[in-house]
Amino acid sequence: MKINCDIRYPSHQDDAKHYDTATLRKHYLIENLMVADEINMTYSMFDRIVAGGAVPVNEELTLTPPAEIRSEYFTQRRELGIINVGGDGIVKVDDKEYRLAKTEALYVGRGNKKISFKSIDKEAPAYFYFNSCPAQCAYPDKMVSLKDAVVMHAGSMEGSNDRTINRLIVKEVVQTCQLQMGLTQLKPGSTWNTMPAHTHDRRMEVYFYFDVPEGQAVCHFMGQPQETRHIWMQNHQAVISPQWSIHSACATSNYTFIWGMCGENDDYDDMDWCATPDLR
C-alpha cells in the first residue's frame, strides 16, 4: 500500500490572473487521484481541505495521516466525507463496516482512529473519493444514499444544462462541523453545469469529475468573473476552486461531478451570482 500527499498553497486572485496554462494546472488541478492500491491526496491551504482518492484492488487500504497532517490518526482533528464512484466497496470505521455502492456516501466524524477501504470484487474495484477538513466537534458517522439526499433539479435541455443536484452531506441530512458534499448528474445531451456562474466568499470548493467517457474531456472554468480562465480535465480528476473563483464546466459529453465545500458558512444558497453577459 502506498500513500501520497501533495501540498498546495493559497494564491491571490491578482496573481492568478497572470498564470499561464502550466501554472494554472500546477496550482489548481489534481490529476492522479485514482491509482490501484494507492491512497492519493492533496492538502490545500484554502480552508485546509483535503481531496483524496483510494482504489483498493489487491489489498485493503488503511487511511493513515501523512506527515503533512501531523496527527496521530487521520480524523484526530478532522471530519471526513467519502463517496464511492466505482464498484461496490466497504469502508471500515473502527469496528464498524459500511458497504457503499456507486454514488453512496459516508460521513465520518472526528475521533475515529482506524479507517480502511476495500473492494468487494477486485475485477470491479471501488473508487473512493473523499474530502476532509478541520473539525471542532465530534459528530456521529452516517451513511447516505441518493434516496436520503436533498434533491434539486436545475437547468434545461434548451440551455444544455439539465441536471440533478443531490445534496448528500449537508446539514439537512447529516450534522457536520463545516464539510458539505454532493453529487450532480447531467442528463444526456447536457454539457454545462452551474450556469449562471457564481462565487461564495465564505467557503471554498473542490470539484471532482467522473463518468467522463473515454476520449472525452471537461473544460473547467475558474477565476474572477471578469478574469476567467479554463483548465482541460480528464475523468477522475479534481480541481481546487478558491473563494474568489467561479466554478463551472462545459464538456464534450455529459458527465457527473462531486462538489465538496468547507468554510465558515454551511448555507448552500449563500452564493454571489454573476450574470452570464457580465463574464469576461
| Residues whose CB falls within 8 Å of the CB of residue 123, separated by 6 or more in sequence, listed in order | none
CA distance to 28, 68, 98, per residue, from 245 (Å): 11, 26, 35
- The correct CATH number of 2-278 out of 1.20.960.40, 3.30.420.40, 2.60.120.10, 2.115.10.20 is 2.60.120.10
Angstrom distance (rounded) from CA 184 to CA 181:
10
Q: What is the pLDDT of residue 269?
A: 82
Take residue 70 and report the three cell numbers written for it. Answer: 501531523
**pLDDT value of position 4:** 95
* Residue-level pLDDT at 136: 96
CA dist., res. 8 & res. 16, Å (int): 14
Q: CB neighbours of 250 closer than 8 A, spacing ≥ 6?
A: 160, 191, 192, 218, 219, 221
Q: What is the pLDDT of residue 216?
A: 97
pTM score:
0.97
Instruction: Compute the distance between CA of residue 105 and CA of residue 79 in angstroms, rounded to an integer.
Output: 14
Q: How long is the chain? A: 280
With the CA atoms of 20, 220, 239 and 32 taken in that order, what torsion angle do they form, in degrees rounded to the nearest 10?
Answer: -90
pLDDT score, position 270: 85
Mean pLDDT by 10 residues, the chain (280 residues): 95 96 98 98 97 98 95 98 98 98 98 98 98 98 97 94 97 97 96 91 96 97 96 98 97 97 88 91
